[in-house]
Homo-oligomer: A and B are copies of this chain.
Amino acid sequence: MTSIINFRRPLLIQGLSAPKGFGDSTLRDPRPDAIELLGGIPDPLLLPTDELAEATARILKQPGAPSLQYGRTEGLTLLREWIADREQVPVEEILITNGGFHGLSLALSLVVERGDLVAVDNPVFPLFLRGLELNAGQILPINVDNQGLVVDELEAQLLSGLRISALYTVPDFHNPTQATLSDERRRKLVELAERFGFIVIADNPYRELRFGPESADVTLFNTSNQVIHVNTFTKTLGPGLRLGWVRLPKHLIKDGVALRSRQDSHTSLLVQSVVADYLTSSPGVFDDLLDTARSVYRSRALTLATALEKEAPGSFSIPVPEGGFFLWPKLTNPDIDSDKLAEAASAHGVEYQRGAFFSSGSGTDADRRLRLAYSNVNESQIAEAARRLANALQSLG
């Protein structure tokens, strides 16, 4: 092995932290029979595997195999048109991505100068902070309550003189708190963005998985010049596709395409073609899929909340989620050590994310909470997980 002379890691690379906490499987040592309530993972039984295989067969029979050739950086027109029609935005504003996280990464590079201050949810989706390392961004945590981001707190910080280039929030079925940003706060947030000249990065992976009849209104996110609306098929058609989109305001489209073309040209045209073929294969095919998924996930959310209350009565205060994949229960007994509980739970065969992993600053009760994913466990696993968690609680004395 020859020696490495003079090799100097670029600053960008030096700024990337080692894995820790959330998402770091090396920190876990689960039991072989562990029930995992860990990730925002859709149930594979709810994914349209047969339909995607059929779509692939159709797509690969097209003369000239266009899905195996180069495509446009913006994405496949058929897919962008389907999305634009559904979202009621001009097709030019839709840029296809390799999933939601890629959308976040693009959004950050488009609007955040290195070292800029970026306001973020507190608690926050932790991988966003890891993505922000590429921009060496500094964070300004803004609390999230049961109506989502506390926009008045952001306003106070801005009025005190702080300046941000972007704000990051998950507006619908917030990860981890499950709160949905109220309509009034949506309006005020965009007004602040216009007034103080920052861009809102609205990260919306779970929005289609609502349990109630009405979606939250995303019109502002799809029309404002101050908002990049980040969306994905990850939670509905599967993370493994790596397929999503951003709705970019007009003034960022050219930059977005220029940046993307220099990263990896475009998203797999085979994946785009297959998904577009599936989505347009019959009217309502996607809504039918969503209806089934919503019903299953809603049932699991209720089952888990009910089972926790049954197995460990009074131990948790449990906000009932209105959509998404997670429960965010709070320990009612302040004497319980939540790190010890997570260790005991692991020993009892149930794995979840500790609430403390989601803090982006002080002032929240995240370290008293658990993020429990119910999306990829069946009803009997949920019941067993609740029993194990109750036993773990008891074991702490």
Contacts and interface: CB of A to CB of B under 8 A. Distances in A.
Contacts of A105: 262-264
Contact of A5 (B50, B69, B195, B262): B195
Interface stretch (A87-95, A127-135, A294-302): A127-135
Given A130-B262, A240-B71, A4 B41 contact: no
A205 interface: no
A64 B135 CA distance: 36
A255 B199 contact: no
Interface in A312-337: none
A110 B71 CA distance: 27
A300 to B, nearest CB: 17
A224 B12 CA distance: 24
Interface string A116-152: 0000000000000011011100000000000000000
Q: How many copies does the complex hold?
A: 2
Contacts of A101: 264-265
Contacts of A243: 268
Contacts of A65: 44, 47, 49, 238, 240
Interface residues of A, number: 83
Interface stretch (A54-62, A303-311, A381-389): A54-62
A238 B68 contact: yes
Contact of A44 (B6, B9, B64): B64
Nearest to A65: B44
Given A5-B195, A238-B68, A50 B60 contact: yes
Given A4-B197, A41-B69, A44-B64, 11 more contacts: A10-B112, A13-B109, A13-B259, A44-B69, A49-B68, A69-B239, A240-B268, A242-B265, A242-B268, A264-B264, A268-B268
Interface of A: 1-13, 16, 39, 41, 44, 47, 49-50, 52-53, 56-57, 60-61, 64-71, 97-99, 101-102, 105, 109-114, 130-131, 133-135, 165, 194-197, 199, 224-226, 237-243, 251, 255, 258-259, 261-271, 273
